[in-house]
Amino acid sequence: MKIWFTLLFVTLLLACSIRVLAQPQSSAPATKTSNSAVPKKVKSNDGEQRFQANCGRCHTPPEAISPREVKAVLQHMRVRAMLSAEDEQLILKYLAP
């Protein structure tokens, strides 16, 4: 029985730690960005300029990108749309500061 209590305690502890670890990313500013109001609070001029210059070359950006998705989106675009490493980093900081 003790073992089950220990197991339950450890599981709860780890579940909480998942939540805590996930928190800083999900609560970051502009967590969910809107195309029409792309993170105004966290504007980095370089990042915004690169975003405008690169992403709009082919398409209108999606209405919302969460920080969890940004890295995958940017790596995908780095390969597909030939983003430079510098562009990738600046846009990443702009969208998921």
Partner 1 sequence: MKRTLATLITFLGIATSVCAQSDVPILSGALAFNSSATAGVTTFQPTLAPVLVAPIGDHWLFEGRAQLLGFFFQQNGTSGPYTGQFFATLDYAQVDYIANPNLTITVGRFLTPFNIYNERFSAVWIANLQDSPIIFTIGTRTSASSNGGMLRGVVIERPNWLLNYTAYFSALQTTENLQAGRAAGGRIGMFLPKAGIEVGASYQRFLQNRNYNVAGTYFAWQPPQIPLDVRAEYAHSLGGQGYWLEGAMRIAKSRGTTTWLGRLQTVARVQQFFKGTPTPQDVLPSADVNQFDFGLNYYLPHDVRLNGSYGRAYSSTGNANIWNVQIAYRFLFPAWPGEHK
Question: Which parts of this chain interact with partner 1 (CB under 8 A)?
Answer: 3, 6-7, 10-11, 14, 17-18, 21-23, 25-27, 31-32, 35-36, 38, 49-50, 52-54, 56-60, 62-73, 75-76, 78-82, 84-86, 96
At closest approach, how far in Å is the CB of 50 from partner 1?
Answer: 8
How far is the C-alpha of 7 from the C-alpha of 22, rounded, in Å? 22
Q: Please, which residue, 43 or 72, has the CB nearer to partner 1?
A: 72
Beta-carbon neighbour count of residue 71 at 10 Å? Answer: 13
Beta-carbon neighbour count of residue 53 at 10 Å? Answer: 11
At closest approach, how far in Å is the CB of 76 from partner 1?
Answer: 4
How far is the C-alpha of 25 from the C-alpha of 31, rounded, in Å? 8
SS3 content of the chain, % helix, strand, coil (to 5): 65, 0, 35
At closest approach, how far in Å is the CB of 41 from partner 1?
Answer: 15
Q: Please, which residue, 47 or 70, has the CB nearer to partner 1?
A: 70
